Amino acid sequence: MFEIFGFIIPLIVILVIVGIFLSFVPLGLWISAVSAGVRVNIFSLVGMRLRRVRADKIIRPLIKAQKAGMDVNANQLESHLLSGGRVDNVVDALIAAHRANLDLSFERAAAIDLAGRNVFEAVKMSVTPKIIETPWISAVAIDGIEVKVIAKVTVRANLSRLVGGAGEETIIARVGEGIVTTVGSSQSHKSVLENPDLISRTVLSKGLDNGTAFEILSIDIADVDIGRNIGAHLQIQQAEADKQIAQAKAEERRAMAVAREQEMKAAAQEQRAKVIEAEAEVPRAMAAALREGKLGVMDYYEMKNTMADTAMRDSIASMGDANGVHRGKKE
């Protein structure tokens, strides 16, 4: 019994020690590196584990890089991983650039990766150019006709300008600006339809890839379409605006005329009131003249007879005018 315990206890202790050792030392990863011909110190793997760095993210890309003949060491890969980079992506980019005879160092590839760009996709784009298709771009020629254009821009990544260079959105915006400028300087939309390559040649000569991460290889016009007659539309809008302005001015003049008419009516009423007021003073003045002896009784009656004669003549004249109008209507 004691002999069994004496055998089991040391075995358990040995297994515990081996387990602790394997938890700190990735023995399988070290064996894979040695069998692949990559010299890795086992204590370096222990140090990675103590620094909480996943050793497989360093050793496997290192094996791949050295098998491809790249001069990369574990310290460079670990430093890039601790900086937040994608080690596997950088190594794939270095291998692809090496096979395509592109000048790409580990430092530049790491900088491109830390800048947030996909360095492996950039290397592939350097080998195989990418086609960027613009949306419909509307421009207006001098004759007022709208022209819609779709362009396809063939670009190649420029590895030396990937850090700090502008992206695809800038390329599309600059190409659109060049198309609008070229179409806008054309005398007629017909010239644009007849020579669409004039747009691509003019836009390509402007050096639109300056300051971007790409090199523009060609600009091809994929489609050209005719839109609205912007010139005629603007003329219609201007005519409508002029009409509304004229109507507003006419309404203003009419309102002023109505106001003037009301003012004149008020002035006439005022003058009529003054006349009536003056007529009301006549009897009082005559009474005062009679009292003061300035007007005799015979003079008064003579004046009344004159007024009666005048009223009779006015009545006869008005009857004559009425009869003349009546006869004119009968005739």
Domain contains 276: no
Contact 132, 152 (CB under 8 A): yes
Span 264-315, pLDDT tens digits: 988 888 888 888 888 777 777 777 777 777 767 677 777 778 878 888 887 8
CATH number at 217 reads 3.30.479.30
Where would I find the H helices in 51-105? 56-67, 74-82, 87-99
Count of the separate structural domains present in the chain: 2
Residues 142 and 60: their CA atoms lie apart, in Å, by 63
| Same domain? 78 vs 152 | no
Is 134 in the same domain as 155? Answer: yes
Which of residues 200, 229, 258 is at a domain's end?
Answer: 229
Residue partners of 255: CB distance under 8 A and separation at least 6: none
Please indicate, yes or no, if residue 319 is contained in any of the structural domains: no
In this structure, how many other beta carbons lie within 10 angstroms of the beta carbon of residue 223? 11
Task: Look up the pTM and report it.
Answer: 0.57
Residue-wise pLDDT tens digits, 88-116 = 889 999 998 888 888 888 888 898 888 88
Residue numbers of the chain with a pLDDT score lower than 50: 325, 329-330
Strand partners, 153: 132, 219
Domain boundaries, position 112: 16-127
Based on the fold, state whether residues 141 and 72 are members of the same structural domain. no
